[in-house]
Amino acid sequence: MSEPPEEYWQRRARELLDQVPGYRGYRLKEERRDADRRVREAVASAYAAELARVEQIGRSLANARRLGEIGDVERVSQAIRHYIDRVRTASPGYGGLFGERDVDGVALDQLRLFDEGLMIGADELEPAIKRLETAAAAGQSLRRPAGEAESIIESQLGRLSARQEVIETGHASNRESVLSALKPAAAVAPPALFAAGAGDAVTILGDDFTIDARIVVNGQPQSFRLVRIKRDPEEWLYVSQEPDEPMARVSPAEPAERGAEILGTSLQPASAGTGDGELIGVGGSSGLRPVRYALLSDPNQAEKFGLILDWDGERQAFVGQRVEPLDVELFRRAETAG
Residue 138: inside a domain? yes
Residue 83: inside a domain? yes
Query: Do 184 and 222 share a domain, yes or no?
Result: no
Q: Which one, of 106, 111, 86, lies nearest residue 33 by Cα?
A: 111
Q: What is the pLDDT of residues 69-91, one digit of tens each?
A: 899 999 999 999 999 999 988 76
Q: Which one, of 225, 242, 17, 235, lies nearest residue 119 by Cα?
A: 17
Residue 338: inside a domain? no
Look over the chain and give the mean of its residue pLDDT values, rounded to a whole number: 84
What is the model's pTM? 0.55
pLDDT of residue 231: 93
Residue 336: inside a domain? no
Residue 233: inside a domain? yes
Total number of domains constituting the chain = 2
Complete edge-to-edge strand list for the sheet that includes strand 207-210:
207-210, 201-204, 328-331
Residue 337: inside a domain? no
Dihedral class, residue 38 (left if φ above 0, else alpha if ψ from -120 to 50, else beta)? alpha
Find the radius of gyration of the CA atoms of the chain.
23
Q: Give the range of the structural domain holding residue 275, as residue numbers without chain letter.
A: 192-331
Query: Do 13 and 41 share a domain, yes or no?
Result: yes
CA distances to 7, 55, 200 from 260, rounded to whole Å, are 39, 27, 32
pLDDT of residue 198: 86
Residue 235 CA, distance from chain mean position: 27
Burial 104-143 (b: 16+ CB within 10 A, else e): eeebbebbbbbbbbbbbbbbbbbbbbbbbbbbbbeeeebe
Query: Do 206 and 252 share a domain, yes or no?
Result: yes
Query: Do 235 and 145 share a domain, yes or no?
Result: no
Q: What is the pLDDT of residues 161-220, one digit of tens each?
A: 888 887 777 776 666 556 555 665 444 456 778 878 888 899 998 899 999 999 999 887
Residue 87: inside a domain? yes
Residue 248: inside a domain? yes
Using the 3D structure, point to which of 158, 188, 218 is the last residue of a domain.
Answer: 188
Enter the DSSP assignment of 95.
S
